[in-house]
Amino acid sequence: MIERVRKSLSSASASLIAILAGLLAGFVILLASNPSSALAGLATVLKGGWNGGIKGVGQMLYYATPIIMTGLSVGFAFKTGMFNIGASGQLMVGGLISIYVGATWTFLPGHLHWIVALLMGMLGGMCWGMIVGIFKALLNVNEVITAIMLNYIGMYGVNYVIKNSHLYNQLRNHTVDVAASAVIPKAGLDNIFYMMKGVYKDASSVNAGILIAILCAVLIYILLSKTTFGYELKACGFNRDASRYAGISEKKAIITSMAIAGALSGIAGALMYLAPSSGMHIDVEEILAPQGFNGIAVALLGLSNPIGIIFSGLFVAHISVGGSYLQSLKYMKEVVDIIIGLIIYFSAFSLLVRDVMKRIAGKRRAAQVVQVHREGIPPVEVIPDGAAPDAAPRDDTGQKEAQP
């Protein structure tokens, strides 16, 4: 147990170092565009939601909700050896279906309505993700290619469907709002995260979505680490041949894991578009939902660990909200976006770079050491305790490294 705590702390420290690197990169941009307020700017970014008091924290939780979900989606696929770059499309498809259910299935009573809308959105994302899995399992088409194409098909498809249906509000160029019963409840959170403006209570947009996201993370954690299903999926991710040898159906594993990844992104879409205040409809825009791609950064930063993803999602939201306050320091909106993007992606990628470096170093060492002899050298990180300390060759042919 202590060993496990120590291990997770050491991997968390890797994420923290990555975040520092990201902040440093952001600071360079702050310096470049407006040196006099660079320090104040950095402080603002770091302060995140707190810039807006407790309400700002609520906003941070609100922004964190969909990216925790897409982070889970990407991280889950990583764990099973696949790269789900299609979270964006899955999110859009899931979102559209929840909007459809939310706006039209008004015969559903009260609370049931938003729950059904949420579940249908999940199902939509699931189907979209499953297509990727089916192509990969049956036709051996690389999941990245299928997923990217499905992102565009999803975005344009969603826009097409909206514009050609009764859901379209032509005046505002977005869908009609969902019925009040389909909006995700605030679950009392608005009574925690608010600010008083005179006598008027200015509540943040936070809602039960964040609780649902955290619940999903816990469920995925249990699924991956406690069940035979998770055991099979991870085995496939680590070594497809050995999984086959063990009698696991790799095709089934690929399809189900992409379906689950899609479902998680679908929930992300549902939680986004069924959220009160700023949600409730989809704007018709020709851009891929950025939450899908931020999910990649969140997953990387959280080391694909579902619990880690909760924290990395919160961090990314924290920085984003903090960045939005930068405009008060006369930073241009575009620069603000660059800074936020830079911090997020630099954090994620410095982690990736660190991993790659470690792998290269490890391989080089393994290449020499191990192959040198198979009996007794512990690789540097392994501490032998009297038993045969050994370095085993990293076998490049058999084992598939977790992507990317």
Partner 1 sequence: MNEYIIEMVGITKDFPGIRANDNITLRLKRGEIHALLGENGAGKSTLMSILFGLYRPDAGQILKDGRPVEVRDPNDANALGIGMVHQHFKLVHNFTALENIVLGVETTRNGALRMDQARTQVMALSEKYGLMIDPDAQIQDITVGMQQRVEILKMLYRENEILIFDEPTAVLTPQEIDELMDIMRGLAHEGKSILFINHKLAEIKQVADRCTVLRKGVLVGTVDVADTSVEDMAEMMVGRKISFGIDKQAADPGDVVLSVKGLSVAGRHDKRAVSDVSFDVRRGEIVCIAGIDGNGQSELVYALTGLMPVESGQITLNGADITHALIRKRNDAGLSHIPEDRHRYGLVLDYDLQQNLVLKKYHHEEMQHRSFIRVGSVRAHAERLIRQFDIRSAQGPDTIVRSMSGGNQQKAIVAREIDTDPEALIAVQPTRGLDVGAMIYVHEQLVRVRDQGKAILLISLELDEVFQLADRILVIYEGRIVAELDGKQATAQELGLYMAGSRKETA
Judged by the rule CB under 8 A, the positions of this chain that interact with partner 1 are 3, 226-229, 231, 234-235, 238-239, 241-249, 365, 367-379, 382-395, 397-399
189 touches 208 (CB < 8 A): yes
Q: How many CB atoms lie within 10 A of CB 175?
A: 27
Distance CA 56, CA 353 (A): 33
Query: At its nearest, how many Å lie between partner 1 and the CB of residue 399?
Result: 5
Q: CB nearer to partner 1: give 112 or 222.
A: 222
Instruction: Tell me if residue 384 falls in helix, strand or coil.
Output: coil
Query: At its nearest, how many Å lie between partner 1 and the CB of residue 2?
Result: 12
201 touches 208 (CB < 8 A): no
101 touches 122 (CB < 8 A): no
Q: CB nearer to partner 1: give 47 or 251.
A: 251
Q: How many CB atoms lie within 10 A of CB 119?
A: 17
Q: CB nearer to partner 1: give 139 or 387.
A: 387
* Nearest CA among 131, 99, 150 for reference residue 269: 99
Query: At its nearest, how many Å lie between partner 1 and the CB of residue 391?
Result: 7
DSSP of 328-363: GGT--HHHHHHHHHHHHHHHHHHHHHHHHHHHHHHH
DSSP of 98-163: HHHHHHH-TTS-HHHHHHHHHHHHHHHHHHHHHHHHHHHHHH---HHHHHHHHHHHHHHHHHHHHH
24-44 burial string, b = 16+ CB within 10 Å, else e?
ebbbebbeebbeebbeebbeb
Query: At its nearest, how many Å lie between partner 1 and the CB of residue 191?
Result: 37
Q: CB nearer to partner 1: give 180 or 372.
A: 372
Q: CB nearer to partner 1: give 250 or 337.
A: 250
Token readout for 289 is: 């939902």
Query: At its nearest, how many Å lie between partner 1 and the CB of residue 240?
Result: 10
Residue type, 358: K
Q: CB nearer to partner 1: give 82 or 340.
A: 82
Distance from CA of residue 222 to its chain's centroid? 18
Token readout for 41 is: 């700017």
56 touches 297 (CB < 8 A): no
Q: What is the DSSP letter of 283?
A: B
Q: CB nearer to partner 1: give 233 or 317.
A: 233
Query: At its nearest, how many Å lie between partner 1 and the CB of residue 4?
Result: 9
Query: At its nearest, how many Å lie between partner 1 and the CB of residue 230?
Result: 8
Query: At its nearest, how many Å lie between partner 1 and the CB of residue 8?
Result: 14
Q: CB nearer to partner 1: give 35 or 398.
A: 398
Query: At its nearest, how many Å lie between partner 1 and the CB of residue 386?
Result: 6
Q: CB nearer to partner 1: give 105 or 238.
A: 238
